[in-house]
A = this chain, B = another copy of it.
Amino acid sequence: MQVEGKQYRTVWLEGSTLHLINQPMIPHRFQVVTMARYNDTAKAITDMVVRGAGAIGATGALGMAQAVLQAPDEGFHEFIAKAANVLRGTRPTAQNLFYGISKVLDAVQEAGDNIPDARKAARAAAQDVADDDAENCRAIGQNGLPLFHHGIRVSTHCNAGWLAFVDWGSALSPVYAAHRAGLTPHVWVDETRPRLQGARLTAWELAQEGVSHQVVADNASGYLMRNGQVDLVIVGSDRIAANGDVANKIGTYTSALAAKANGIPFFVAAPTTTIDPDCPSGDSIPIEIRTQDEVRYVWGWSDDGRFTRVRITPDASPGHNPAFDVTPASLISGIITEKGIIEATTRAVTSVARS
């Protein structure tokens, strides 16, 4: 997508140098950081300079290719094996990370003992991972576009935009497609406490693209729906169970309840790689409980421009911080994938995951 008139992806490789958009600095500053060596890239994943399933997967693949390009001829395979371990250890629960790394390792293995061929194959395989992610997201945008009409008002939660992928995003991709088609969508951006990915990342993406939007407290989205100010809800997903239940950022469930109560279509947008056919239902999806300090403190920019935190609770009051929730399939109007819009049913979900 464009930033200040220039085209960007969240991550890319030039020679053997990896480039990343520094996401924690958004929206305060747009900054591209470069990683000279694969272990710099690994540290950037750990430090969440890059986040979002698709973006992490591509960074893992490109970081792995970086290692292959930089591995010495002597001890070539040992260097690569060690690099794979380092990269795999950065975000231990990120399915896309393992996928991206293994795609590059497979390519290296196929190249056999020819080191120049292995380097070429690694770069190509990593580039494929990144390109596939971007292309899947672009297709999600096109497939979601028929849901939009002129002047549509869309509510979204968290950040499922291009910053979470290589390009385009999942939930925001149809919004961008609609915007470029001249349909002038307006987006209600849930701020998405506690980590505020909506207020920071989604709002910034939409502002860059010139899409009309307003940030609201998460508490306001139900009111807006009941008040007739929302035509469509689209959210992303962290994992889709075989029965169509969807795990996504905490707060997605209440947004879906409000949509259902007010007859508003509620769609999930995700590449089919998000489907976990081995997970029978949402009840099997473990919910990460994160540090209570994310509730007790809010991070932002002070009036003098420092990124800093303020405490909002009494010292004596503990917090509780579940990071995701599960929206049952019965509340979901459909799932927008790169292969088309499917119903949130066992038959549709398992069939698209197999195709």
Contacts and interface: CB of A to CB of B under 8 A. Distances in A.
Looking at chain A, what size class is its interface with the partner chain?
A: 35 or more
A300 B311 contact: yes
Contacts of A300: 297-298, 310-312
A305 B201 CA distance: 29
A196 B261 CA distance: 26
Contact of A310 (B214, B217, B227, B309): B309
A290 to B, nearest CB: 11
The quantity of this chain's copies bound in the complex is 2
A219 interface: yes
A213 to B, nearest CB: 6
A254 interface: yes
A129 interface: no
Interface in A273-318: 287, 292, 295-303, 308-318
A219 B216 contact: no
A215 B320 contact: yes
A211 to B, nearest CB: 10
A295 B219 contact: no
Contact of A312 (B223, B226, B255, B298): B298
Contacts of A224: 322
Interface of A: 27, 188-189, 191-194, 196, 199-200, 203-204, 206-207, 213-224, 226-227, 249-251, 253-255, 257-258, 261, 287, 292, 295-303, 308-322, 325-326
